[in-house]
Structure 1
Amino acid sequence: MSVTDLPLVAMLRNRMQWQQTRQKVLAENVANADTPGFRARDLKAPRFRDDGSLAAAGLPGIGMERTSGLHLAGAGPSGPAEERTGTRFEMMPSGNAVSLEDEMLKAGDNQAAYQLAASLYQKSLLTLRIAVGK
């Protein structure tokens, strides 16, 4: 079994690859902000099942277990995070629907999430090295 077969490492690697691809899409949106008729695009976030496993890929997820009846049950994707589905501003007369403010907010959020995933990836590999005695 290689290190990349571990579910946590594979999940973090896939998350970082998704965020790299999303950053490219957001950069294209910013680059085409003045292109007539251009509409901003975004990638859909990976979907998870109720048990925490990834719905689209065959990766085993980290399931959650209620060990006490007093614990809160998971209710799905609802939470404090706001999901931006559209632009808050009107379309330009040229038909362009790119809002630089929204795209820069998305890029900043994406960068922070990528840095978190990269840090967790690095720490998990360091923990594995410590576990094997290197």
Structure 2
Amino acid sequence: MTAISFNNALGNHSEALQLRAKRAEVLANNLANADTPGFKARDFNFQAALKEAVEQRQQDAGAVTTSLPLEQTHSGHIAGTGTIDESLLYRNPSQPSIDGNTVDSQIEQALYARNSLDYNASFEFLSSKFKGLKGAIRGE
């Protein structure tokens, strides 16, 4: 007999929910920089990231980050490190602007809205699963 675990009961929706939240941050960053000269729109391959997250069952969804030292050009600067998310890809623009910005606000808004709907669907699915598990525990 196999033990019941959250991973078995919830499927891949918990990882999908985390990835949708991360993607919302990336898309929101793109929208926030729509007027920044030279900004390149970024996104990630959701299907590949979900597949990796399901395989590894990690909370960070398998995103690979590399630490970068920050250069101090003045003794008064604060020392620190930054990170680069290597799973982010650059979006190929259909019509880049003259200033080098590749963000198309309408496309980004549509992708953000779709991502929001998918996030809500995963959240509702998880909510119903937890209600079912609570009912099973209570013997209902």
- TM class by shorter-chain length? 0.5 to 0.7
The one-letter amino acid paired with 1:103 is E
Question: Between Structure 1 and Structure 2, which shows a larger proportion of strand residues?
Answer: 2
C-alpha deviation, 1:46, in angstroms = 2.9
Secondary structure at the residue paired with 1:103?
helix
Q: Is the 8 A contact 1:87 1:102 kept in 2?
A: no
Aligned match of 1:101: 106
1:54 paired with 2:59, answer: no
CA pair 116-129 structure 1, distance change in 2 beyond 3 A: same
Q: Which whole-Å CA distance do the structure 2 matches of 1:23 and 1:37 have between them? A: 21
Question: Between Structure 1 and Structure 2, which shows a larger proportion of helix residues?
Answer: 2
Secondary structure at the residue paired with 1:47?
helix
1:38 paired with 2:36, answer: no
Q: Which whole-Å CA distance do the structure 2 matches of 1:8 and 1:14 have between them? A: 13
Unaligned runs of 5+ in 2: 58-90
CA pair 13-112 structure 1, distance change in 2 beyond 3 A: same
Aligned match of 1:12: 13
Q: Which whole-Å CA distance do the structure 1 matches of 2:23 and 2:92 have between them? A: 16
Task: Give the number of equivalent residue pairs.
Answer: 103
CA pair 125-3 structure 1, distance change in 2 beyond 3 A: farther
Aligned match of 1:120: 125
C-alpha deviation, 1:125, in angstroms = 0.6
C-alpha deviation, 1:38, in angstroms = 0.8
Report the aligned-residue RMSD: 2.4
Q: Which whole-Å CA distance do the structure 1 matches of 2:11 and 2:134 have between them? A: 17
Q: Is the 8 A contact 1:13 1:121 kept in 2?
A: yes
1:110 paired with 2:111, answer: no
